[in-house]
């Protein structure tokens, strides 16, 4: 069944007063854009049409939503809490959806840093089995987060559950979380996204997000590990990726101590993700595209180029830090034979022996060895010593 017949719609909950923030959260700015603007763009990137539930400062939020091309519905009971906004939005979406066959992606406006890739993954999971009673919860690093996806076939049940006269319900104070716990029907969908937990309730929270925003395209190690587990299921390849991550991280740490411009966390993450699609033809380009689409574009160039011998900074159009990261990843990958570290001579010697009866292949291996030695020599000059000793932990 196509998405046209079972749409997942965004439902952005923007009715709160924002008292702890000191102002309306929908209109609060992060990185020069309002929370509502950021979330609306995220939903569009994920292929969702969104509706905004307004409340406090309703006219201002409605006008801002209209400027973003978003429909709105007003919650007159917004002072009673977010659950009333959920009920208002779900009821409006169910009424607008023929047969109640779609689903709502419930996105509180104070969680503005969820990645489009996470919402797209939830949408595609729903589309694979668009049951009207289905409930999806994203999970990362062992915890569920936002946004849940609720089948519109659940709306009447949720409304009935919210009725304080319902003996099964402790009252609307139980909120959606209380309903989900009571029904026990939610399915967990793994995502590689710390943003599902990053809410902004206070100015201190906002300041923390502002500080994090410039690094958004560099995954944390937990995000990189989660993305690897989502797409790569070979224990041998995963072990190799972890070995390359350690090697790249050690090289980056040593270079950083010598004043070179390289991000250590990016090096670890690039190592973890460099072979994420190892069994796919053209795995480097495919893996780079996957990582970029997951929201981690800072690693794209290094992953795309790791099978070759990237030049060091100044030799091509890449920026200094991007070029150095690519060189570090490429050399780390060549040192890691499986999950052990070996010299370039040993690594390429194994390849040469594999093609003992193929002179053309042996000549190609010899060329790659010579190019890799040149890369090793250039990094050795930056490090002040043999890179392999740094990788093996024998030298800082």
Cα radius of gyration rounded to whole Å, the chain: 25
Residues facing residue 54 across a β-bridge: 14, 74
Q: Are 242 and 322 in contact (CB under 8 A)?
A: no
Instruction: Flag the least confident range among 97-101, 210-214, 251-255, 305-309.
Output: 97-101
Range list for CATH 1.10.3210 in the chain? 221-391
291 or 396: whose pLDDT is higher?
A: 291
Q: What is the pLDDT of residues 331-352, one digit of tens each?
A: 999 999 877 899 999 888 888 8
Position 268 scores a pLDDT of 98
pLDDT at residue 4 in the model: 44
**Confidence class of residue 16 from pLDDT cuts 50, 70 and 90?**
very high
How far, in whole angstroms, is CA 199 from its chain's centroid? 16
Alpha-carbon distance of 238 to 253, in angstroms, equals 22
Backbone angles phi, psi at 139, to 5 degrees: -135, 140
- CA 196 to chain CA centroid, Å, is 9
- CATH of segment(s) 8-215: 3.90.550.10
Global pTM reads: 0.91
221-231 vs 235-257: helix crossing angle, rounded to 10: 160
- Would you call 107 helix, strand, or coil by DSSP? strand
Residue with tokens 């994203």: 138
Residues 6+ apart with CB under 8 A from 271: 241, 242, 244, 245, 246, 247, 248, 249, 329, 332, 333
Q: Among 158, 27, 28, 62, which Cα is nearest to 104's?
A: 158
Instruction: Give the number of other Cβ atoms within 10 Å of residue 339's Cβ.
Output: 14
Predicted pLDDT at 355: 80
The model's pLDDT over 119-176, given as tens digits with 9 standing for 90+, comes to 999 999 999 999 999 999 999 999 999 999 999 999 999 998 887 766 666 554 578 8
Q: Where in the chain is the domain with CATH 3.90.550.10?
A: 8-215
- pLDDT tens digits, one per residue of 87-111: 999 999 999 887 767 999 999 999 9
Q: Residues 133, 151: contact at Cβ < 8 Å?
A: yes
Supply the CATH classification number for the domain 221-391.
1.10.3210
Mean pLDDT of the chain, nearest integer:
91
Whether residue 271 contacts residue 329, with contact meaning beta carbons closer than 8 Å, is answered with yes
**How confident is the model over 231-270, as pLDDT tens digits?**
999 999 999 999 999 999 999 999 999 999 999 999 999 9
Give the Cα separation of 225 and 273 in Å (integer).
Answer: 8
- Determine the pLDDT at residue 316: 53
pLDDT of residue 45 exceeding 50:
yes
Q: Is the pLDDT of residue 312 over 80?
A: no
Quick check: 207 pLDDT over 70? yes
């Amino acid at each position: 069944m196509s998405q046209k017949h079972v749409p997942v719609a965004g439902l952005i909950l923007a009715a709160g007063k924002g008292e702890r923030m000191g102002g309306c959260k929908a209109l609060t700015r992060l990185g020069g854009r309002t929370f509502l603007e950021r979330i609306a763009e995220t939903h569009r990137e994920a292929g969702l049409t969104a509706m905004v539930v307004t409340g406090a400062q309703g006219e201002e939020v409605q006008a801002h939503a209209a400027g973003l091309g978003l429909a709105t519905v007003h919650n007159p009971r917004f002072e009673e809490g977010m659950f009333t906004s959920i009920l208002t939005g779900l009821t409006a979406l169910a009424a607008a959806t023929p047969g109640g066959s779609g689903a709502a992606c419930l996105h509180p406006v104070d969680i503005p840093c969820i990645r489009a890739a996470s919402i797209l993954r939830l949408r595609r999971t729903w589309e694979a089995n668009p049951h009207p009673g289905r409930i999806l919860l994203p999970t990362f690093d062992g915890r569920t987060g936002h946004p849940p996806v609720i089948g519109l076939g659940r709306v009447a049940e949720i409304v009935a559950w919210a009725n304080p006269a319902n003996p099964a319900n402790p009252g609307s104070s139980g909120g959606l979380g209380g309903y989900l716990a009571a029904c026990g029907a939610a399915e967990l969908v793994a995502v590689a996204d710390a943003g599902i937990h990053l809410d902004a309730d206070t100015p201190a929270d906002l300041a923390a997000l502002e500080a994090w925003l410039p690094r958004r395209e560099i995954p944390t190690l937990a995000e990189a590990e989660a993305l690897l587990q989502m797409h790569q299921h070979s224990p041998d390849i995963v072990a190799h990726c972890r070995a390359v991550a350690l090697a790249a991280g050690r090289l980056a740490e040593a270079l950083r101590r010598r004043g070179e411009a390289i991000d250590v966390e990016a090096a670890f993450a690039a190592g973890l993700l460099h072979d994420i699609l190892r069994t796919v033809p053209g795995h480097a380009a495919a893996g780079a595209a996957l990582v970029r689409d997951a929201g981690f574009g800072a690693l794209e160039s290094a992953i795309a180029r790791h099978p070759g011998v990237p030049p060091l900074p100044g030799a091509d159009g890449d920026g200094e830090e991007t070029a150095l990261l690519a060189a570090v990843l490429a050399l780390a990958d060549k040192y890691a034979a499986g999950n052990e570290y070996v010299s370039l001579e040993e690594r390429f010697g194994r390849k040469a022996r594999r093609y003992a009866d193929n002179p053309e292949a042996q000549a190609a291996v010899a060329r790659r060895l010579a190019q890799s030695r040149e890369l090793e020599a250039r990094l050795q000059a930056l490090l002040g010593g043999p890179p392999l000793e740094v990788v093996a932990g024998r030298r800082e």
